[in-house]
Structure formats: C-alpha cells, structure tokens
Amino acid sequence: MKIRQTSQACLNFSFSSPQEKRKKVEINICADAQEAKALKIKSDILILTNSSEDERDFKLAKDIFLINSPGEYEVSGIFVHGLAREAGDKRSIYAIASGNLTVCYLEGKGWQELKPEQSEKIGAIDALVVSAQKEGGFSEKELRDAISEIEPKLVVLAMRLDQGKKSSKIDDFLKEMRIKSFETLEEVEFEREDLKEEGRKIVVLAG
C-alpha cells in the first residue's frame, strides 16, 4: 500500500484490491469537507473525519463511497471500521484492512484507551497513521500512550513541514518517545512483509 499527503487536511491511501490483484483501491481521508470538495477528490472511498449535519449532504460523484460516521463498511474487498472515540463524539478512529494488512488512522486530541470490544473489532494493527497537527492535536504523551497500546510496527506522522524543515512538534514527539532518528518522505509504500523486522519505524510525511 502507499500513503501520501495531498493537502494540509487530506491523506491518500492506495491499496491493492484483495479481489483483483491488478486493481488499486483509492481511499482519501479528509478532516475538512470543503477542502475535499475544492480538491475535487476522485477515489473509491472518501472518509470525512470531522462530520457535521451539513456535511452529511456532501455531494459526490456516484462512484465515490462516502464514510462520515462510525460503523463497519466494505468496498471492493477493503474493510473499514469506524469507532466512535466516546459516546456522542462524531470523531472516529478508523481501521482499514486489506488482505493481511491493517492500518489505523488517528487525528484530533485526547487519546482514550480502547475498550476490549473496540480492540477486538479492529484487531492487530500493522501501521498507525497520525494526523499530527501543530495546534489542537495529540500531545506527545497522548501519542506515546496510543502507540504503546496499539503497538504498530510502523508509525506515520502526517504533518506538513515548515519550509522544508521539521517542526518543533516533531522534535518534541521524538524526544518524548526517545527516538533519535526517523525518515522524512513525500510518500511511504509498504506491504506487511516489510514490517517483520524488530523495532518500530517512524516516518514523517513531508508532502
């Protein structure tokens, strides 16, 4: 699979279809419906993470499957589990599974330990993708707690850099996690077989 950042508020995930090996399933995750609209998103699935009543009427091309609330979905052999972070909270944790690879997406702030039934639903997570905003995002401690609980082999921090330089928030996070090195990439591509090595890999998306 491949992950790249298409804008400040949108990420693109490209999966190989479990049903058709040569087919790619495109998933876009956006925190801002209007930005998604402005970008003229074209994908198989569009996930809006900050849903509102107005956005529930978001107009899409007929071939785009919209997800903007917690639930279980299946499109072209790709399974998406949206878990509400707490009762009445429209923000969700999204786990996306394709074949033997499962990716978890987090954004916002205020990490809370997963309930047993939530952990059972999303299963083992291979890669954790975190929208690491400068303002209003997870604290370094919250990120550490989330990573410690989910135990991914790969952590992808989706955060635009300032004029090609890593932000102070990235420095703070790495210091908190006692991580001395990481990769900065425009996109990250991997399969489950690539995550078998010991240790945890950190990637910062600088798209």
Confidence of residue 153 (pLDDT cuts 50, 70, 90): very high
Q: What is the mean pLDDT of the chain?
A: 76
**CATH hierarchy code of domain 2-205:** 3.60.15.10
pTM of the model: 0.83
Predicted local confidence at residue 114, as pLDDT: 79
Confidence of residue 126 (pLDDT cuts 50, 70, 90): very high
In tens, the pLDDT along 39-91 reads 666 778 888 887 654 455 556 666 788 888 888 999 888 899 988 766 555 55
Predicted local confidence at residue 95, as pLDDT: 92
Predicted local confidence at residue 80, as pLDDT: 92
Confidence of residue 132 (pLDDT cuts 50, 70, 90): low
In tens, the pLDDT along 159-186 reads 755 444 555 566 666 676 676 777 878 8
Predicted local confidence at residue 163, as pLDDT: 47
Output phi, psi for 195, to 5 deg. -105, 20
In tens, the pLDDT along 10-28 reads 888 888 766 666 567 778 7
The structural domains of the chain, with segments of one domain joined by +, span 2-205
